[in-house]
Chain A
Amino acid sequence: MSAAEVQLDAQGRLRHLIAIEGLPRSLLEEILDNAERFAPLGDRAVKKVPLLRGRTVANLFFEPSTRTRTTFDLAAKRLSADVLNINIEASSTKKGESLADTLRNLEAMQCDMFVVRHHISGAADFIARQVGPHISVINGGDGRHEHPTQGLLDAFTIRRHKKNFEHLTVAIVGDVAHSRVARSNIQALKILGVPDLRVVGPKTLIPAGVEALGVTVYDDLDEGIRGADVVIMLRLQQERMQSALLPSAHEYFREYGLTAQRLRLAAADAIVMHPGPINRGVEIDSAVADGMQSVILQQVTYGIAIRMAVMAMVMGNQALAGVH
């Protein structure tokens, strides 16, 4: 059974969110449309709505995260849910408790939703298959597999700036091979109909066979971003250099760092995105990260609306399925 099957119920409604891959375009658009309705709440005096009052969301982070965890936390709180933030690395598993036992304990605490981040690909999918019917699982990033809410918030950011996806050229630049963000972005943007989707990076950081996903591969940054409407920069993780896939941060910046001068090769109204945290002077120059075309901080804000939309939908679908 694929992730696509485990995350939809018999009526095709979203029950868990594990991966973008396999989701129908109509469902992605429904999530984006719902996020559009949650986005204005951030401008109000009271930013909360009572939709998930009385529900409990457990953030299970088996791997460190600041932005993703805090925005999931905020999203749940703005829906009036109660939130448990559990840093599993530092808790029970250290004492030898198995994952299955940790999950059973959380179920016994009558949680309604697990947000899972894990360093192993497939972890969220595995957990979704273990839990009872009254629990929904949302993948907050699993290994090199997917980070679906990031893919959705990036699509949301693009749609807000470019209105639709039909005529866009989007370049995803950097360490595509190790990036779950890149994988979710590629899936989301292909499903939403982006015609010209490019991945740009050194051959050592581009996964073999990625063309099969419908993208064009460039190993030259200038060529890769030429005429692009959207440039998505990926974080270069330091350990890639240690593992000898790259010579040095300095050299990487010279070849693949986005500077203001290079950005001029993209469309005049191109937007620059980055999932964060950014390495200034490694994959992106400060002048670009802080520049007029950067929408990096908007991505963070929109991430809250997307996560509210996903959480409200999976809980609402539980209600429709008669679980609550």
Chain B
Amino acid sequence: MSLQFDIQTLITQMATTLSHTLSQADITEPALIGVRTGGVWIAEKLSQLLTIPAPLGELNIAFYRDDFSRIGIHPTVAPSMLPFDVTDRDLVLVDDILYTGRTVRAAMNEIFDYGRPRSIHLVVLFDRGGRELPITAQVVGAHLNLQPGEHAKLTGPSPMHLEICRQRPVASAA
């Protein structure tokens, strides 16, 4: 089953909100970091819409997940790549779906192993609630109301599409 969202429009709205949020915070040179894989797709679109000149960072949080003791090393494709110095930068972390908050926790831990950023804003396409950690996104595309046992997954990159399934998708991040 799938919920009908015009993801392109959501991202355009997110770009407007993000631009406003950043200017409110006096941030003129943000650097975007997408969480692989869905977050990178969204960060690419946002980067184009906001004409951000800085190269895009990509994070693969596999080495920072908190479930290694249960499921072992996570099979993923490409390693993290932050092609800029994060120290004293204003970062915008982009993910597709915010759920427990554990992915964002892992992503922030990894970012701090590259350096000490000046600030981090969190941008997510969908917030589905269910937080297990004290983490909030500054920019949210849409809120999802899912039934117990339902799981959401973004497919893409073009077009991006939200899939809702009863089973937890294999290799999905928390």
Contacts and interface: CB of A to CB of B under 8 A. Distances in A.
Interface string A28-40: 0000001011111
B76 A37 contact: yes
Nearest to A323: B69
A51 B63 CA distance: 6
Given A49-B64, A49-B113, A37 B79 contact: yes
Given A36-B79, A40-B80, A51-B73, A46 B113 contact: yes
A58 to B, nearest CB: 20
B80 A317 contact: no
A316 interface: yes
Contact of B73 (A41, A44, A312): A312
A239 B71 CA distance: 48
Given A37-B60, A50-B63, A313 B73 contact: yes
A241 interface: no
Contacts of A45: 87, 113-115
A319 to B, nearest CB: 5
Contact of B71 (A34, A50, A315, A320): A320
B109 interface: yes
A324 interface: yes
Contacts of A312: 73
Contact of A317 (B62, B72, B112): B72
Interface in A281-324: 312-313, 315-320, 324
B64 A50 contact: yes
B84 to A, nearest CB: 13
Interface residues of A, number: 23
A280 interface: no
Counting chain B residues whose Cβ lies within 8 A of the other chain, the interface size class is 20 to 34
A279 B32 CA distance: 49
B81 interface: yes
B69 A324 contact: yes
B68 interface: yes
Query: Is the contact region of chain B dominated by helix, strand, or loop, or is it mixed?
Result: helix
B70 interface: yes
A39 B60 CA distance: 14
A46 B68 CA distance: 20
A48 interface: yes
B50 to A, nearest CB: 27
Interface in A49-98: 49-51
A45 B60 CA distance: 17
A49 B63 contact: yes
A79 to B, nearest CB: 9
Contacts of A44: 113-114
A34 B76 CA distance: 9
Contact of A319 (B60, B69, B78, B81): B69
Interface string A219-258: 0000000000000000000000000000000000000000
A45 B73 CA distance: 23
A40 B81 CA distance: 8
A48 B81 contact: no
Nearest to A49: B63
Nearest to B80: A40
B44 to A, nearest CB: 21
B68 A319 contact: yes
Given A45-B114, A46-B114, A49-B113, A320 B72 contact: yes
Q: Which of B69, B80, B109 has the most CB of A within 10 A?
A: B69
Contacts of A313: 72-73
B113 A37 contact: no
A315 B72 CA distance: 7
**Which are the 6 A-B pairs with shortest beta-carbon distances?**
A316-B72, A46-B113, A49-B63, A316-B73, A37-B79, A320-B72
Interface of A: 34, 36-41, 44-46, 48-51, 312-313, 315-320, 324
27 contacts: A38-B79, A40-B79, A41-B63, A44-B113, A45-B113, A45-B114, A46-B112, A46-B113, A46-B114, A48-B113, A49-B63, A49-B110, A50-B63, A50-B64, A50-B109, A51-B73, A312-B73, A313-B73, A316-B68, A316-B72, A318-B72, A319-B69, A319-B70, A319-B71, A319-B72, A320-B71, A320-B72
